[in-house]
Amino acid sequence: MFIDQARVTVRGGNGGNGVVSFRREKYVPRGGPDGGDGGRGGSVFVRADAGRTTLADFRHRKRFAAGNGGNGAGQNCHGKAGADIDIHVPRGTLVYEAGKLLADLDRDGQRICVARGGRGGLGNQHFATAVKQAPRFAQRGEPGEERELELQLKLLADAGIVGAPNAGKSTLLAAVSAARPKIADYPFTTLEPQLGVVPIDVDASFVLVDVPGLIEGASKGAGLGDRFLRHVERTRVLIHLVDGAVSPSEAVEQLTMIEHELREWNARLLRLRRIVAVSKQDLPSACATLSAVRKATGAHVYGISAATGAGVRELMGAVYNAVRQAQKDERESSGEVVLRPRPKPADATVLVRKEGRAFRVSGSKIERVAAMTDLDSDEGQVYFRRALVRMGASRKLEKAGAKPGARVRVGESEIVW
């Protein structure tokens, strides 16, 4: 089964906890703190893999989690870093989060980090000062990022065949390549895109894709068009195949309808080089249909018969030349460059709002501090309250009306003010 859309949940590994430890060795008085740091959590990456063709692997497995970092230990021993994981997807996969495009993986081996692992917590050796030389406090590991992603596959092909149902698209693909799509005399025989490599010469070929037939309203969801039109968006050339078995007037209507649906789906498709062909020229009535289409378009139209092979070689030669010219134009043009800036550092802005009888303090930086602080210990609470003062949250709480004894929530944590 061909699957071109999937939803997955990815989660980076949690950072390991720092530890509270003191150096205790014979003949070493006042050894001091030696708690090691926790290891970082593993990250989740999405990697383009030319060996995969569909997103079928994600039908049943929808959650991916990287390894957690190891906890620190005494004698300044750091915890082990969590293992990263790669999620392999076909070339041409687009990665979205909440409708926003994160990456377009159109090259083999291209890789993007979609969920970062948490940082390891600091051991108590980092909190020793001249005043407090024996701190009994260490940080917890930072939780890893968790994201809901949508994966969409757009097949990578040089040329695509579009047309109405039963126009002969699958028959043409089978005639010019080793692909073996299902062929029958009823509409919508093709239920999923089919790829084939078309040989032109010993060292010349191109990739051709056949998508299910388009009917009126396909761009809005009628038939199968809205599911598979995306697969011709990446093509450089479109073969517009008109059914030669219909009457001349119906053929012209087909031509107009397909152009309308392509425009409604993505106007860029009409800017691609399009080559019009009329199929089934082995039928007596197809000659009149070919003449009507030529008159309607005012351009050269190829008459072909996939059954006898008439005109097919000339059509494929024209498509190959158009693909080569499009490739040349792409190399000469500067192209569109998409900049993906580095992730922003943690926002130090702190917001305070009333939440029932309690107060909610929000802000990425203060929430991260809360997640990495052991609020069950007295020293942890002292450390966190100092962080509230340092970041300006205490002053904002007072302005919001917080009194001693009020409950203050930060992320998943809660303390008494």
| pLDDT tens for each residue of 25-56 | 888 777 889 999 999 999 999 999 888 877 88
Quote the distance between the C-alpha of residue 295 and its chain's center: 44
The token duo for 55 is 């997103």
What pLDDT is stored for residue 337 in this prediction? 40
What pLDDT is stored for residue 62 in this prediction? 92
What pLDDT is stored for residue 185 in this prediction? 60
Q: From 2.40.50.140, 2.70.210.12, 2.40.50.840, 3.40.50.720, which CATH number describes the 5-153 domain? A: 2.70.210.12
CA distance 234 to 107: 13
CA distance 280 to 290: 10
Domain boundaries defined on the chain: 5-153, 159-332, 351-416
Express each pLDDT in 135-160 by its tens digit: 888 999 999 999 999 998 877 788 88
Rounded mean pLDDT, 305-319: 90
What pLDDT is stored for residue 218 in this prediction? 53
What pLDDT is stored for residue 40 in this prediction? 95
Domain topology for 351-416 = GMP Synthetase; Chain A, domain 3 (3.30.300)
């001091």: which residue's tokens? 32
Express each pLDDT in 79-134 by its tens digit: 999 999 999 998 888 899 998 888 888 888 889 999 999 999 999 998 888 888 88
CA distance to 184, 232, 262, 299, 301, per residue, from 167 (Å): 11, 17, 17, 20, 15
CA distance 278 to 298: 14
What pLDDT is stored for residue 382 in this prediction? 87
Q: What is the CATH number of domain 159-332?
A: 3.40.50.300
Q: In this structure, how many other beta carbons lie within 10 angstroms of the beta carbon of residue 285?
A: 12
- For the four alpha carbons of 365, 103, 269 and 3, in that order, the dihedral sign comes to negative
Q: Tell me the average pLDDT of the chain.
A: 84
At 222, the pLDDT band (50, 70, 90 cuts) reads low
